[in-house]
């Protein structure tokens, strides 16, 4: 999460040894999209996710200050811990709304993060993190309830075949300006 805009970016990292790789993805995104010129400070607890010689060397080479907080001190890592709890509660709420399988927790996390970035915050004078980062208010016109039934157009087949299939709406796919849809019959997720 960026301290200035409160904008949150989430990566689902498969194993802890991939943390440096995903940190570099985030850094490249932030610099290329001109959200910053560089990451000045990385603050983390001593949980071991970032503690490696490779990560130390990378931060030293880029001039990024690394602030390690003392474990079990919420007053030093409170914002990140609060964000993690809030996102977890949103995932639980989204999952309780529907009977979608637990394996979709990552999809629920992405949607909860999207919602967080598009809701006004008092700390930003009632602007959204999206607006603070991009300079314009977000467009919420295509928003659906998470897990609601939707019909997706499909023109394959003959003229007499059904031209729509029922799925469950999960979230927006921002990269493709599309929607992420869960197909209960096959147990798959696709971008439509």
Domain of residue 51 covers 1-136
Number of domains composing the chain: 2
- 3-class DSSP state for residue 2? coil
Is there a single domain that holds both residue 150 and residue 125? no
Cα 96 to Cα 100, 169, 179, distances in angstroms: 9, 15, 21
Q: How far apart are CA 171 and CA 143, in angstroms?
A: 8
Shared-domain flag, residues 118 and 169 = no
Predicted confidence pLDDT, tens digits, the chain (192 residues): 666 788 888 899 888 888 889 989 988 988 888 777 888 888 777 666 667 888 888 888 989 888 777 766 666 666 777 888 899 999 999 988 888 999 999 999 999 999 999 999 998 899 999 999 889 999 888 889 999 999 998 877 777 767 788 999 999 988 788 899 999 999 999 998
Same domain for 13 and 92, yes or no, is yes
**CA atoms within 13 A of residue 101's CA, in its CB half-sphere:** 10
């Amino acid at each position: 999460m960026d301290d200035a805009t409160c904008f949150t970016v989430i990566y689902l990292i498969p194993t802890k040894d991939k943390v440096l790789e995903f940190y570099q993805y985030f850094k490249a995104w932030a610099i290329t999209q001109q959200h910053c010129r560089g990451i000045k400070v990385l603050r983390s607890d001593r949980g071991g996710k970032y503690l490696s010689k490779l990560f130390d060397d990378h931060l030293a080479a880029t001039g990024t200050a690394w602030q390690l907080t003392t474990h079990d001190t919420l007053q030093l890592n409170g914002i990140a811990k609060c964000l993690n709890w809030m996102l977890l509660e949103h995932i639980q709420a989204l999952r309780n709304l529907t009977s979608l399988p637990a394996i979709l927790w990552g999809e629920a996390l992405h949607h909860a993060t999207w919602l967080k970035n598009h809701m006004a915050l008092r700390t930003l004078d009632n602007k959204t993190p999206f607006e603070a980062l991009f300079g314009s208010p977000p467009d919420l016109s295509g928003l659906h309830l998470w897990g609601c039934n939707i019909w997706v157009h499909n023109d394959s087949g003959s003229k007499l075949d059904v031209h729509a299939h029922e799925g469950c709406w999960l979230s927006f796919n921002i990269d493709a300006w599309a929607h992420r849809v869960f197909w209960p019959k096959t147990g798959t997720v696709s971008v439509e």
